[in-house]
Amino acid sequence: MENFVYERCTKIIFGKETEKLVGREVKKFAKKIMLLYGMGSIKESGLFDTVLKSLKNEGIEVIEHGGVRPNPTLNFAREAIKIAKEKKVEMILAVGGGSVIDTAKAIALGAKYSGDVWDFAEKKAIATEALPVGVILTIPAAGSESSQYSVLTNEDGPYPLKRDVIVENNQLIRPQFAILNPVLTFTLPPFQTACGVSDILAHVMERYFTNVKDVDLTDRLCEATMKTVINNGLIVMKEPENYSARAEVMWAGSIAHNDLLATGRAGDFASHMIEHELSGNYDIAHGAGLSIIFPAWMKYVYKYNVARFAQFAARVWNVDDNFFSPEAMALEGINRITNFYKELGLPTTLKEAKIPAVRFEEMAEKAVKLGNIKKTNAEDIVEIYKLSVG
């Protein structure tokens, strides 16, 4: 086990009707806020009115700002930062999923910074201040509600760049509170639900796949979370209004990405970076990109740690022990996760996603190079793209 520091201060308020408590929580931080949201579904569902009422009851002034899109852009954040500065808002309240929350974090940083917020992504500057961020979560997926991450796409250059706005102080833009009501996820379309399940599972796998030894507790916590996501992920696809299953997926989504599961171990994260090039370039949903990349990545790297992939197969996918051939177990595990993605209705090949088998070298060159099972270089990444063609 490696040394670590673990500090996670997001207050999670979980359960039915909890969105009605938002005014009380916001009031602890601000009197004037930017209420950030996406494409307007929160207005159709009535959530917007509920939130506004709770805020008004506490006398909070609200600057409404909608229009965040999936794979959110730097330019949208820049515009919102301008407004946040002009209006002197004191907090950003994100009502939505990962795209809205990631954008809110960037706005929170930018509002306290005189330069361009992309400076942080390019490591040209170190963030030292930010407005507080609050969250009402509507899509369990990105885990952004209790993470320090903010991923934006910069479309200014010759090709889009999807990057994390890096914050060294990992409490700086971690949300102060996150309200999670599983009922708000009942109306998510099946594809979006499936993409969320895929993203959550991926966040655990990125931490699970490591060559670091003696990580028994976190291995088992990861396996516990994966089994929960898999079992309940299949239920929510069939029963979108099953509260219990929605609740399991939603809470697992936060735990998957708040780094408890990474304590004492280095994660892999190659797949996430390889996928970012797909969704940055082709505007495929992140979760659907992951269901394509993960099986290919696994096929390419499992030989670097057969024991770990065999353990994954046994403990997560209930593959029978085969001590004569752990490799056979590893491969059966990869087979089962591929079938799981299919059962969710997600693509497992580029062909199914109608993404052309081109520009692999270009994307591999651009991709952030990470990896712990194997640090993937550009050639590795090209091979992984090839394995994902189908």
CB of 307 to its own copies, least distance (A): 16
Cα distance between the two ends of the chain: 38
In which residue are the tokens 């309200």 written? 179
Among the residue ranges 83-91, 211-219, 333-341, 344-352, the one whose residues contact its own copies (CB under 8 A): 211-219
CB under 8 Å to 5, separation ≥6 — which residues? none
Q: Which of residues 260-319 bind its own copies (CB under 8 A)?
A: 260, 263-264
Nearer to its own copies, 212 or 357 (CB): 212
Closest CB 176 distance from its own copies, rounded Å: 10
**Residue 14 Cβ vs its own copies, minimum distance, rounded to whole Å:** 5
Q: Rounded to the nearest 5 degrees, what angle is found at the Cα of 192, between the Cα atoms of 92 and 292?
A: 115
The Cα–Cα gap between 141 and 189 comes to: 13
- Looking only at residues 212 through 251 of this chain, which bind its own copies when binding is defined by CB under 8 A? 213-214, 216-217, 220-221, 223-225, 227-228, 231-232, 243-244, 247-248, 251
Tell me the number of residues near its own copies by CB under 8 A: 40
Pick from 101, 195, 255, 284 the residue near its own copies by CB under 8 A: 255
- Indicate the residue among 71 and 148 with the shorter CB distance to its own copies: 148
CB 294 within 8 A of CB 337: yes
Q: Taking the complex as a whole, how short is the minimal distance between the CB of residue 204 and its own copies, in angstroms?
A: 12
For tokens 């929170």, name the residue: 108
Q: Counting every residue, how long is the chain?
A: 390
In angstroms, give the least distance from the CB of 305 to its own copies. 18
Minimum CB–partner distance for residue 315 and its own copies (Å): 10
Nearer to its own copies, 213 or 354 (CB): 213
- Phi and psi at residue 151, in whole multiples of 5°? -105, 120
Site for its own copies in 4-43 (CB under 8 A): 4-16, 18
State the Cα torsion 180-183-186-187 to the nearest 10°: -90
Residue closer to its own copies by CB (options 74, 261) is 261
Q: Which residues pair with 73 in a beta bridge?
A: 153
> Rounded CA gap, 206 and 68, in Å?
27
Q: What is the DSSP letter of 243?
A: H
Residue with smaller CB distance to its own copies, 4 or 159: 4
Q: Where are the alpha helices (DSSP H) in 263-325?
A: 270-282, 286-301, 306-317
Residues with Cβ within 8 Å of 98's Cβ and at least 6 positions away in sequence, in order, are 139, 141, 142, 143, 144, 199
State yes or no: residue 206 binds its own copies (CB under 8 A): no
Tokens of 254: 């936060």
**Least distance to its own copies from the beta carbon of 167, Å?**
17
Shortest Cβ 9–its own copies spacing (Å)? 4
* Residues that bind its own copies in the complex, under the rule CB under 8 A: 1-16, 18, 213-214, 216-217, 220-221, 223-225, 227-228, 231-232, 243-244, 247-248, 251-252, 255, 260, 263-264
